[in-house]
Amino acid sequence: MTNDTLDTAHGWLTADELEVVRDQVPMVYVEAVPVRVDHLGRITKVGLLLRAQADGRVSRAVVSGRVLFGETLRDALWRHLNKDLGPDADPKLPAAAAPFTVAEYFPEAGRGAFHDPRQHAVALGYLVPCDGECAPSQESLDLAWLSPQEVVDPSIADEMSSGHGRLVRRALAFAGQLP
């Protein structure tokens, strides 16, 4: 999960304040799996952001970010999709009120399916078709569109950060397209 610097740049919480609150309550996150779909709604490609990690390794991730105080989930989704995929991505937010899955990130490694050393986060997952031109933000090295077959390949799955591979597999299963 990413995008905290920009959030705090909104002036809503300083890095120190965020540090404190992160030890006190679970954080609310939204996570979006960007996809290309055909005219029948079937996923043809899954979009993955390529990022340089602190340790020099490269990792692949879906769109993910914190929900700010006072912000609706839909506004947060829109903000993070625009920031990560650019202003022309044309994301189609789903009409459903519920996410297709929920991922629970805990700071302790090995406790459950998702891990985030910084915090306890409850992340609501959405599948978001994007019709437009997608351009990765400056935080990302690249944005790659992979087929459902490719995205579940172990060589790709191994490069996914923080359980995002698991999230993508759940998204494909939800769409009836897990190979």
Of 133-152, binders to a copy of itself (CB under 8 A) are none
Of 87-106, binders to a copy of itself (CB under 8 A) are 92-104, 106
Per CB under 8 A, the list member of 16, 53, 54, 70 interacting with a copy of itself is 70
Per CB under 8 A, the list member of 6, 45, 50, 73 interacting with a copy of itself is 73
HSE at residue 13, side-chain half, CA atoms within 13 A, is 16
Tell me: does residue 4 bind a copy of itself (CB under 8 A): no
Of 8-67, binders to a copy of itself (CB under 8 A) are 12-13, 17, 21, 23-28, 35, 37, 39-43, 67
- Cβ proximity to a copy of itself: between 8 and 50 the closer is 8
Of 150-169, binders to a copy of itself (CB under 8 A) are 166, 169
CB of 21 to a copy of itself, least distance (A): 5
CB of 161 to a copy of itself, least distance (A): 18
**SS3 letters across the chain:** CCCHHHHHHCCCCCHHHHHHHHCCCCEEEEEEEEEEECCCCCEEEEEEEEEECCCCCEEEECEEEECCCCCCHHHHHHHHHHHHHCCCCCECCCCCCCCCEEEEEECCCCCCCEECCCCCEEEEEEEEEECCCCCCCCCCCEEEEECHHHHCCHHHHCCECCCHHHHHHHHHHHCCCCC
Tell me: does residue 1 bind a copy of itself (CB under 8 A): no
CB 46 within 8 A of CB 33: yes
**Which spans of this chain sit near a copy of itself (rule: CB under 8 A)?**
12-13, 17, 21, 23-28, 35, 37, 39-43, 67-75, 77-78, 92-104, 106, 112-113, 120, 122, 124-125, 127, 129, 166, 169-170, 172-178
